[in-house]
Structure 1
Amino acid sequence: MQIREATDDDWPHIWPFWHRIVAAAETYAWDPDTSETAARALWMNPAKRVYVAEDATGAVVGSAYLTSNYGGPAAHIANAGFMVDPEQGGRGIGRALAEHVLAEAKARGYRGMVFNAVVETNPAVGLWKSLGFTVLATVPEAYDHPRHGLVGLHVMHRAL
């Protein structure tokens, strides 16, 4: 698997799984009806460093972004987002993307990373914990999950 910086030409390959994941409304607090134009502006924002993971055939199977979570005197704390094509799950793509983004964040001088809204039923919570993230707080019943009803949103952090 190769992980590289994304280009504008990667968006048509990211959009199908981005849309599928967000429309399922199980792991992201983004509007399930987000248009492709709005999704592209959100994910491929020039203020973010965007990465793609490619399989051995060169197909894009995942994407992630890295950005500052805050500005000004707190700009040294990073934020990131991760999406892996659901058809490619269980192959270590999410872990590889996470390790890559964490290394990039550290190399760029970030001192920590925070996730502001991790749905507590998201299977990725286990991945984040295995990579050293801790749950700082949980906002109870903040997310209306389509299968589990009202569940909490974790705020997670890891020092870099």
Structure 2
Amino acid sequence: MTGGGTAIRPATPEDHEAIWRILKPVYRAGETYCIPPDITRDEALADWFAAPFTVFVAEADGLVLGTSHVGRNRPGPAAHVANASFATHPSARDRGIARALVAHAKDWARNQGFRAMQFNFVVATNADAVHSWQKAGFDIVGRLPGAFLHPQHGYVDALVMFHDLTGGQP
């Protein structure tokens, strides 16, 4: 359980429909993820649940209002850096669901032995996400000019964001 009455737990197969209800409008909009906007339900869920990620859901008032997947960013010598993605149901915006999910993801990653977390591709026009991740301690460490074809704005930058999970400890 996290603050504000939001509980975060591992996702189960029974959560698939609720997760799809969250992912579908995000993917269909084509504004924030490098996912084909016409992706099918089964393809989307297979991608969201793909190894090496562990999927979580955020519940409040008995409803699944958000989801995350957290896991290794890259294998081998970079296996100590986690990656994560987040999505919230449109009706749950501004309720702290994303904040709870990112705090949980950082704690989970740290407890799994990850030393850092990196977001590889944050669309720069997604100002709410950029602001939220900066508030959560992530720094913009790279900019990929024109790397994302936004349906309204054309080619926009993508950001690489990074957070040290060790608190500066070796």
Shorter chain as normaliser: what TM range?
Answer: over 0.9
CA distance in 2, matches of 1:104, 1:151: 32
Kindly indicate whether residue 60 of structure 2 is the aligned counterpart of residue 52 of structure 1.
no
Give the partner amino acid of 2:153. H
Secondary structure of 2:52 counterpart = coil
> Aligned residue pairs: how many?
159
Determine the structure 1 residue equivalent to 2:156. Answer: 151
Determine the structure 1 residue equivalent to 2:96. Answer: 92
Deviation string 1:32-81 (CA, Å, 9 cap, x unpaired) is 1111111111112253111000112x110000011100101211100001
TM-align CA RMSD: 0.9
CA distance in 1, matches of 2:162, 2:39: 27
Secondary structure of 2:155 counterpart = strand
Give the partner amino acid of 1:17. I
Deviation string 1:91-124 (CA, Å, 9 cap, x unpaired) is 0000000001100000110000111110001121
Secondary structure of 1:98 counterpart = helix
Kindly indicate whether residue 96 of structure 2 is the aligned counterpart of residue 126 of structure 1.
no
CA distance in 2, matches of 1:138, 1:45: 27
**Which of 60, 72, 76 is equivalent to 2:76?**
72
Secondary structure of 1:140 counterpart = strand
CA distance in 2, matches of 1:117, 1:54: 26
Determine the structure 1 residue equivalent to 2:168. Answer: none
In structure 1, list runs of 5 or more residues that go unmatched: none
Kindly indicate whether residue 9 of structure 2 is the aligned counterpart of residue 9 of structure 1.
no
Length-normalised TM-score, structure 1: 0.96
Structure 1 position 148, deviation (Å)? 1.8
CA distance in 1, matches of 2:102, 2:68: 8
Structure 1 position 15, deviation (Å)? 0.2
Q: Percent identity?
A: 42
CA distance in 2, matches of 1:93, 1:46: 24
